[in-house]
Amino acid sequence: MSTSSLANISGAIQSVVENFQRHRLPLLCAAGLGVTAVASWMWWRKKCGEHVELRKVGTVSQLLIYPVKSCKAVSVPEAECLTLGLRHGELEDRHWLVVTEEGQMVTGRQEPRMVLISVTGCGDSLCLEAPGMEKILVPVMQPKSNKILNCRVFGFDIQGRDCGDEMSHWLTTYFQSSSPYRLVHFEPNVMKPRKSKEAERPFREKDVIAYPDASPIMLVSETSLEELNKRLENPVSLANFRPCIVVSGCEAFSEDGWDDVKVGTIRLKRVMACGRCILTTVNPNTGEMTRQEPLDTLRTFRMSDENLSHLYKKAPLFGQYYGVEKTGKLRVGDPVYMMVRRSE
């Protein structure tokens, strides 16, 4: 081989070596990025539930929305579950509140006959009906000229837009009150919600509500009610307990252990049990309060452990409070899943 040929081969080899050295760092970085991407993908799969088992625990049998706090429920076939609770069309759970002129909330605890007021959706209005009263329509969207009132719910401040003098007169007449009552509406796009943890400490910072007692979602099973009624001389109904989601096809009080729930496209996180108050003793058919049953019977078998008495005090437990982990939609007939994390 001639000297010139050897020189050409040597030059070609040198060019390949220089080319490799010049591109070695980008190639190694690309390889490293590939490994990192695989690792990230594996971590993402694990985080997003690769090791989570969905265990069916029941079926949604009812979805209940209470547009006006302490008034009758509206049973709906499907609902959106938003951060503030259930919504169906213009009906939003506990977004309307009866207050005094000073803005103090009025519920069935103060006016037991409030449970006899029915509330339905009529296009862009609410229709309220009560015994001995003409029905009245209340526009969902109140005029912006209506005052925004500063209200007090369990000692905490929240706003509500006044629903007008006609509605005030209707409420005041129905309750035969010596002082005027008013109806206010919470407007999510205008007003700041309450934090659930202000009412009950176990709730998370992100759990928010309008006018409910503490939680955006309260869940109860039909079998829990059946177990309670076996012990009562006069059975009660779900209307005594005012849940949002009712579940069938499970054992009594099994909802006590459903910490992470998936139903439809929503996810819920159990926070605590619901400690029951005297509102449960108001007969939903007569509006009469006994202050006894079903509370007295619940206290015989549904009290909290002693180490939780600081939280529930002397309130018996019935139903579970949930925070909204993921918004979405659900409907009657949807299976209810408990999310169980499997060990690897």
For 24-71, the pLDDT digits (tens) are: 433 333 333 333 333 333 444 455 545 889 999 999 999 999 999 999
pLDDT at res. 138: 97
Residue 44 domain flag? no
The model's pLDDT over 289-317, given as tens digits with 9 standing for 90+, comes to 999 999 999 999 999 999 999 999 999 99
Residue 162 domain flag? yes
Give the whole-angstrom CA distance, residue 208 versus residue 34: 42
Q: Would you call 260 helix, strand, or coil by DSSP?
A: strand
* Segment 163-175 mean pLDDT: 98
Residue pair 129/116 in contact by the 8 Å Cβ criterion: no
Residue ranges making up the domain that contains 166? 54-341
Residue 38 domain flag? no
The model's pLDDT over 27-39, given as tens digits with 9 standing for 90+, comes to 333 333 333 333 3
Eight-state DSSP code of residue 17: H
Residue 22 domain flag? no
Residue 237 corresponds to which tokens in the numbers above? Answer: 């109904």
CATH of the domain at 174: 2.40.33.20
Q: Which helix (H) or strand (E) holds 62?
A: strand 52-65
Eight-state DSSP code of residue 312: H
Q: Residue written as tokens 């040929």?
A: 5
Residue pair 151/184 in contact by the 8 Å Cβ criterion: yes
Pairing of strands 118-122, 125-129: antiparallel
The model's pLDDT over 86-107, given as tens digits with 9 standing for 90+, comes to 999 999 999 999 999 999 999 9
Residue 47 domain flag? no
Residue 21 domain flag? no
Query: Which position has the higher pLDDT, 341 or 337?
Result: 337
CB proximity list for 61: less than 8 A, separation 6 or greater: 222, 246, 247, 248, 332
Count Cα atoms within 13 angstroms, Cβ side, for 35.
Answer: 5
Residue 169 domain flag? yes
Residue 25 corresponds to which tokens in the numbers above? Answer: 């760092």
Distances (CA, A) of 304 to 82, 211, 307: 30, 26, 8
Cα 84 to chain centroid distance, Å, stands at: 6
The model's pLDDT over 131-157, given as tens digits with 9 standing for 90+, comes to 999 999 999 999 999 999 999 999 999
pLDDT at res. 341: 85
Give the whole-angstrom CA distance, residue 162 versus residue 178: 19
* Segment 261-265 mean pLDDT: 98
* Segment 161-188 mean pLDDT: 98
Residue 12 domain flag? no
- For the chain, what is the domain count? 1
